[in-house]
Structure 1
Amino acid sequence: MLGLRYLLLIIIGRRRQILAGLLLGGGLIMGTAKAMPQPPKDHRNEQLAQRFQDWQSLVALSMHLSDTEKLNAVNAFFNEQVRYGEDQDLWGQPDYWASPLETLELGAGDCEDFALAKYFTLRLLGISEQSLRLVYTTLASTKQAHMVLGFWSDDGAAPLLLDNLNMQILPIIERLDLQMQFAFGPTHLYRFEQSSLQVAGNTELLPHWQVLMSRMKREDVALADAAKVSF
């Protein structure tokens, strides 16, 4: 099992890959907040260690919760622990899809980083792959691109959206401020037919997702080991 200190050394020392291009011609950016100046290095390392300990505690304490309780816990954790930052400020490039470990490392991310961190953490907590979809939306008022995480329960209830802009987890039918464009999972793209999803293609059309999934295959062991609390 990787200890916390060893895991931090791996993450801090990891070379950051440079990715180029934009999803469907437009970067996923959201919110008016800008990336804040970074604190001194020693303080950043202390913050990083604390975030990982808090994330480990989240996973350990949430394993036996109900699905609803897991959704609430994970949504609140990332919305409270991660600040909004634009990819250009965080990574020096217009669009970068960070892994959960990278988001925890920086303590910052844009909308897709929030959604992806929640997605992979909930998968680690046992939420089924079939219940979770990343959802590409646009703001109804400005048409600005935005990504959220969707949850479809087995009981046929209205799907729920986990959003970094809203602490509440609301049914999709109540999010009149968002216009649903498409959703995707590990292998398929989906179009919306009201609140239900219909397969519309495969995720080979999403190059950033393909790169991230390849990277996640290498990080899966580290992510699972990181979830094992070893203070």
Structure 2
Amino acid sequence: MIKLHILVSKSIKRPLKVFSACLLGLGVMCGSAFAIPLSQDMQQSQAGVQRVSDWRALVSESAQLADSEKLRRVNAFFNRTIRYGEDADVWKQADYWASPLETLEKGRGDCEDFALAKYFTLRLLGIPEDSLRLVYATQAKTGQAHMVLGYWADAGTDPVLLDNLENGIRPFVQRDDLKAEFAFDELNLYKFDHAALQLVGSVGQLPNWLALVQRTKREESELADATARGAQSGLLLSAVSLKH
């Protein structure tokens, strides 16, 4: 679960400050491509290699499906394949956002790892970036922070939520157990007004986000260099560009 030791303000005057605090120190991967060489640990993990193989099959087999079926398959795949694990146990850190490949390697992750893996997989499958947003919520009964992936079929419609806590995909308005607070995509930050989104700022105002974009570009460059050298050790994921 996300270790967010802050209170989410109900005031519109402070949304960007609060959301910046929510994201502080979280390793979100963002960029124009989702492709990095597999780590040495992955090469040594037959289970990890199998998970990546299964993931590649998922992407290949789902490419021509309707969006609703892509959502269903991707949600089911990660909920079935990845076990829940706290960052302290999986990464020996208080809070760490793993890339999708890292999550597949470990086979474990917390709520934001599930949401990120689903997000980037659906982007690879051609779901438009303006239909997908990562949603920061709190659980109604406990106030526990939680992260899910939201899908908006059309602008102005109510989103459906892909959640590691549920195998089904339900509309946000049916999720009485969650209170959505903020959402973000690759460009903007939003505050929820009931089920509607209110733009409150740009992710360009979040230094951590910009740094992570640069990290992703470095990973792309490393993959290109390794491919040019004809690297044969381990497995390489094919670079699949996410067109903006």
Same fold flag (TM > 0.5): yes
Aligned equivalents of 2:218 and 2:125: distance in 1? Answer: 19
Q: Match for residue 46 of structure 1? A: 46
Query: Is the alpha carbon distance of 1:224 and 1:202 closer, same or farther for their aligned partners in structure 2, counting shifts above 3 Å?
Result: farther
Q: Percent of pairs identical after alignment?
A: 55
SS at match of 2:180: strand
Aligned equivalents of 2:66 and 2:74: distance in 1? Answer: 12
User: Are residue 178 (structure 1) and residue 204 (structure 2) matched?
Assistant: no
> Which has more helix, going by share of residues?
1
> Over aligned residues, Cα RMSD in angstroms?
2.9
The aligned runs of 1:56-75 (5 Å cut-off) are: 56-75=56-75
| Cα deviation, residue 203, structure 1 | 2.2
| Cα deviation, residue 205, structure 1 | 5.5
Query: Is the alpha carbon distance of 1:217 and 1:73 closer, same or farther for their aligned partners in structure 2, counting shifts above 3 Å?
Result: farther
- Paired amino acid for 2:121: T
Aligned equivalents of 1:80 and 1:210: distance in 2? Answer: 32
Does the Cα contact within 8 Å between 2:204 and 2:210 map onto a contact in 1?
Answer: yes
- Paired amino acid for 1:214: Q
Is 152-161 or 52-61 further displaced after alignment? Answer: 152-161
The aligned runs of 1:149-188 (5 Å cut-off) are: 149-154=149-154, 157-188=157-188
Is 196-205 or 126-135 further displaced after alignment? Answer: 196-205
Does the Cα contact within 8 Å between 2:75 and 2:167 map onto a contact in 1?
Answer: yes
User: Are residue 24 (structure 1) and residue 17 (structure 2) matched?
Assistant: no
SS at match of 1:179: strand
Query: Is the alpha carbon distance of 1:87 and 1:204 closer, same or farther for their aligned partners in structure 2, counting shifts above 3 Å?
Result: farther
Is 118-127 or 148-157 further displaced after alignment? Answer: 148-157
Query: Is the alpha carbon distance of 1:201 and 1:129 closer, same or farther for their aligned partners in structure 2, counting shifts above 3 Å?
Result: same
Query: Is the alpha carbon distance of 1:126 and 1:166 closer, same or farther for their aligned partners in structure 2, counting shifts above 3 Å?
Result: same
| Cα deviation, residue 202, structure 1 | 2.1
RCO comparison, higher one (Cα < 8 Å, 6+):
2
Deviations 1:97-137 (A, max 9, x none): 11111111111111000000000000000000000000000
Is 215-224 or 147-156 further displaced after alignment? Answer: 215-224
Query: Is the alpha carbon distance of 1:156 and 1:188 closer, same or farther for their aligned partners in structure 2, counting shifts above 3 Å?
Result: closer
- Paired amino acid for 2:72: N
Q: Which runs of no fewer than 5 residues in structure 2 stay unpaired? A: 6-19, 25-40, 224-235
TM-score, normalised to structure 1's length? 0.75
Q: Match for residue 91 of structure 1? A: 91
SS at match of 2:191: strand
User: Are residue 117 (structure 1) and residue 117 (structure 2) matched?
Assistant: yes
Deviations 1:178-212 (A, max 9, x none): 01110001121101122221210122565654444
Query: Is the alpha carbon distance of 1:152 and 1:52 closer, same or farther for their aligned partners in structure 2, counting shifts above 3 Å?
Result: same
SS at match of 2:135: strand
Query: Is the alpha carbon distance of 1:207 and 1:82 closer, same or farther for their aligned partners in structure 2, counting shifts above 3 Å?
Result: farther
Q: Match for residue 11 of structure 1? A: none
TM-score, normalised to structure 2's length? 0.71
Aligned equivalents of 1:220 and 1:129: distance in 2? Answer: 20
Aligned equivalents of 1:88 and 1:211: distance in 2? Answer: 23
Aligned equivalents of 2:201 and 2:69: distance in 1? Answer: 32
